Amino acid sequence: MNIEYFEQLWAQKEEEYESYREGSSKTWDDRVKEFTGNEPDERIDLITRFLIEKQLLRESSMVLDIGCGPGKFALEFARNSSQGQVVGVDISPKMLEAAENNLRAADLDNVQFKNLDWHKADLQALGWINKFSLVTAIMSPAISNRNSLEKMTQASREHCLLCHFLQRDSIGEELKKRILGSQAGDKYGNKGLYCSFNLLWLANFYPQIFYLDTQRKVTRSLEEAIKHYQKRLGRRVALTSAQEAEIADFLKSQAHNNQVTEIIEGKIGCIYWKKQS
């Protein structure tokens, strides 16, 4: 198997789901409420601690966070690189609006957020070739093919970190099985992570991988939960009226006092690699 094999395998992701639209700014604008709650997120602490222990994140680091969303990781990186600079980029204006609000609340002066479609970004024009000591993409669909992965490496002068979910046990996963059936699973665990590792290995970057086990709780009203999961699954397939009703009925069976609580117990795979000198 060569580089072209894994490039083509990764490219099949969008072809498998007719309505797969993770790269759309409107898709992420519509999801901003999912990512702007105040619930504790241990992923931020776990990933930041790892970066510090491996000395990938230092006091003077220049960091680029691709697909930064509301900026929670970027802000934590900035707190731990007080003499450095952090740039967060995202395709969604509403996510960036939330990030700016979080920045004001954090009162940090070493963070900048920028509206950017990573797939269309011209690193040469931006002056970002070999600019950053650390480039991260954490659960971000911005790194979705060989070109976007190679661009990530080009922006770095030292290290890169790429993280994706491998498995999640939750209400959402159960609904995916019921509605999507055989399409719900990914036999590679996470095709993007699997292909990324192999592409990097074949390019002689000698990537390393580690895993994190996480848990977080999300509570929504029954009405909000029905809208959320219908919209979420509707991004994968065009839902029929019967499927929408099935989603609503399942969530009603899970509700207590008109609230639906999802316990998300997941495993995250993270690849990190060093830029060749």
Alpha-carbon distance 105 to 116, whole Å? Answer: 23
Residues pairing with 159 in the sheet:
134, 274
In three-state secondary structure terms, 169 is strand
Tokens found for residue 199 = 């592409």
The CATH number of whichever domain residue 143 belongs to comes to 3.40.50.150
Question: Residue 243: inside a domain, yes or no?
Answer: no
Tell me: pLDDT of 18 over 60: no
Question: Residue 83: inside a domain, yes or no?
Answer: yes
Secondary-structure percent of the chain, ordered helix, strand, coil, rounded to 5: 45, 25, 30
Tell me: pLDDT of 26 over 80: no
Q: Which strands, in side-by-side order, build the sheet including 208-221? A: 111-115, 85-90, 62-66, 132-138, 156-169, 259-274, 208-221
Question: Residue 230: inside a domain, yes or no?
Answer: no
Indicate the pTM of the whole model.
0.83
Question: Residue 225: inside a domain, yes or no?
Answer: no
Q: Name residue, tokens 């993409």.
A: 137
Percent of the chain surpassing pLDDT 90: 67
Give the number of domains in the chain. Answer: 1
Among 162, 146, 127, CA closest to 56: 162
Tokens found for residue 126 = 């931006």
- Return the DSSP state at 256: B
- Return the DSSP state at 162: E
Alpha helices in 113-190 (DSSP H): 123-126, 146-155, 171-180
pLDDT, position 234: 84
Average pLDDT, integer, range 89-118: 95
Asked if 262 and 42 count as a contact pair (C-beta separation under 8 A), the reply is no
Question: Residue 259: inside a domain, yes or no?
Answer: no
pLDDT, position 189: 54
pLDDT digits (tens, 9 = 90+) for 211-244: 999 887 888 899 999 998 998 888 778 899 999 9
Tell me: pLDDT of 188 over 90: no
pLDDT, position 19: 33
Residue 107 domain boundaries: 3-168+185-214+266-274
Question: Residue 107: inside a domain, yes or no?
Answer: yes
pLDDT digits (tens, 9 = 90+) for 29-88: 566 566 666 666 788 999 999 999 999 999 999 999 999 999 999 999 999 999 999 999
Q: Bigger pLDDT: 35 or 162?
A: 162
Average pLDDT, integer, range 250-255: 94
Q: Bigger pLDDT: 276 or 18?
A: 276
pLDDT, position 169: 63
- Point out the least confidently predicted range of 65-79, 155-169, 248-262: 155-169
Question: Residue 112: inside a domain, yes or no?
Answer: yes
pLDDT digits (tens, 9 = 90+) for 143-154: 999 999 999 999
Give how far the C-alpha of residue 230 lies from the chain's centroid of Cα atoms, to the nearest Å.
21
Question: Residue 176: inside a domain, yes or no?
Answer: no
